[in-house]
Structure 1
Amino acid sequence: MRLLPPLLPALPLLAGALITLAPLAAQADEKLAQSKACMACHTIDKKRVGPAFKDIATRYGAQADASAKLAAKIRQGSRGTWGAVPMPANPGVSEADAKKLADWVLQQK
């Protein structure tokens, strides 16, 4: 507890740093989506070939297992969830990257 008072003046700086880094993480994950060709079929806010990421976040966001479910769909593909056009499997996307992408998509509400 004695360490806390000397750290108090630094708390606003630490909080500011975290706030500044949050948009950078979101940009990094959008770049990951671009590098994995997600943006060829999806956009953030409009349907393209596949649904908009915002629509995906709205549909799955309240589900407790949403991130894991989406990560699996990213790697394994899906069929019939959003209509007749299937989502192809992306086995070249690592499990870690699929999780990052799924978490990022779920933030797009």
Structure 2
Amino acid sequence: MKLNFKLNLSLIAGAMLAVSCGGSGGGSSESETTSSTPAATPEPPKEVNLEEKYKDDPVFIRGVELMKQNDCPSCHMIERKIVGPSYADVAAKYESTEENVEMLAGRVIAGNVGEWGEIPMPAHPALSEDDAKDMVRYVLLLKK
């Protein structure tokens, strides 16, 4: 009787150990799979910066070239305000129409103050109208 009691006690302890460790034979139960594996959450779409988004666009390429030849990067960045507004902020404010291109190119050449605060944008009288328009088209391309 003592032997049967010890054998039964060993079997019960072994069974409890097997259940608490995930069952016998190394298999896993369905509830174990769902409770130990978190539900997959979809990754949010990666935000592509505007430079990457438009890098192959001829308007972008020409605009970058012209901006680097002039003093524009001293006051403006693509997506961040420095002294003047970011190009993305300008693109968000103005629709890309020929009227806006002409008006903004005129402001680039003549200079301007008051549209974005009290710090004046200096005049660029040596800039050709065609180059100024290409620069404005580049800026208006940069919509988020």
Shorter-chain TM-score range: 0.7 to 0.9
Shift in alpha-carbon separation, 1:64–1:35, aligned structure 2, 3 A: closer
Q: State the TM-score, normalized to the length of structure 1.
A: 0.74
Q: State the TM-score, normalized to the length of structure 2.
A: 0.57
Shift in alpha-carbon separation, 1:62–1:23, aligned structure 2, 3 A: closer
1:77-100 per-position Cα deviation (integer Å, ceiling 9, x unaligned): 111110010101100111110010
| Identity level (%) | 35
Distance 1:58 1:24 in 2: 19
User: Do residues 23 (structure 1) and 56 (structure 2) align?
Assistant: yes
The runs of 5 or more residues in structure 1 that have no matched partner are 1-21
Query: Of 51, 55, 72, which aligns to 1:38?
Result: 72
Which structure shows the bigger proportion of residues in helix conformation? 1
| Letter of the structure 2 residue corresponding to residue 35 of structure 1 | Q
Greater RCO between the two (CA within 8 Å, min separation 6)? 1
Paired residues, what number? 88
Q: Quick check: which has more Rg, 1 or 2?
A: 2
Flag as ranges the 4+ runs of structure 1 deviating above 3 A: none
| Letter of the structure 2 residue corresponding to residue 74 of structure 1 | V
Aligned counterpart, 2:100: 66
1:17-65 per-position Cα deviation (integer Å, ceiling 9, x unaligned): xxxxx81622232121111111111000000110000000111126661
Aligned counterpart, 2:135: 101
